Amino acid sequence: MDIKAWIKKRKWDLLFTLFIGLMFIPSVRMPVMSFVQRIFAGSPSEIAVEEQKTISSLDWVLFDLEGNQVNFSASHGKITIVNLWATWCPPCVAEMPSFQKLYDQYGDQLAFYFVSNEKPETLDRFLKAKNYSFPVYLPASNYPKEFDSNSLPTTYVLNQEGKIIMEEVGAHDWFSQSFQDRINEMLEQ
């Protein structure tokens, strides 16, 4: 029996078996799952105008990782991105590289709020390991009711008037050309 012919005939079976086998190795599971999520991450889409909600209260107190208090109301009048996430969440980790690129490109023009309930030490260690520089916050008061989600990651994009124009659950490509085009369009208004 020719081993090369056998491997060639069963290459997809072997790759699938290898993939499943990697899922049983805890230290490999997260990177593999994040990689797969990143491959299938699509571009975010806008909510129909009649279904868009305005944030009822911008009074949301947060703490940055240094312990400084920040109020969400500081974002009023800016395009705002709110991402609810965790370091242990594969879809969250999968979309972080696109968020970092977005932050690098628009950091001073948009308001970014990456919000997690994890310990500051855990978040800081994760950010340093991945070389991420976007701002991460811990909630100090209740979320605005419009940000009520039971899924991670959940991302909200608000226009300058505080209206939620995008609400996405799961990993997305936040640096896609279509999303950048929409951001640029809103910045020109």
Residues 86, 125, 176: CA angle, nearest 5 degrees = 55
pLDDT at 13: 80
pLDDT at 23: 67
pLDDT at 1: 65
User: Distance between terminal CA atoms of the chain?
Assistant: 69
Three-state DSSP state, 158: strand
- CA 60, CA 46: separation in Å to the nearest integer? 24
Q: Which residue ranges of the chain lie beneath pLDDT 70?
A: 1, 23, 28-29, 32-33, 35-41
Cβ 106 vs Cβ 35: under 8 Å? no
- CA 155, CA 143: separation in Å to the nearest integer? 13
pLDDT at 16: 76
pLDDT at 139: 97
Cβ 166 vs Cβ 157: under 8 Å? yes
- CA 46, CA 121: separation in Å to the nearest integer? 35
Name the phi and psi angles at 166, rounded to 5.
-140, 140
Strand order in the sheet with 80-84: 53-54, 163-169, 154-158, 80-84, 111-115, 136-139, 61-64, 69-71
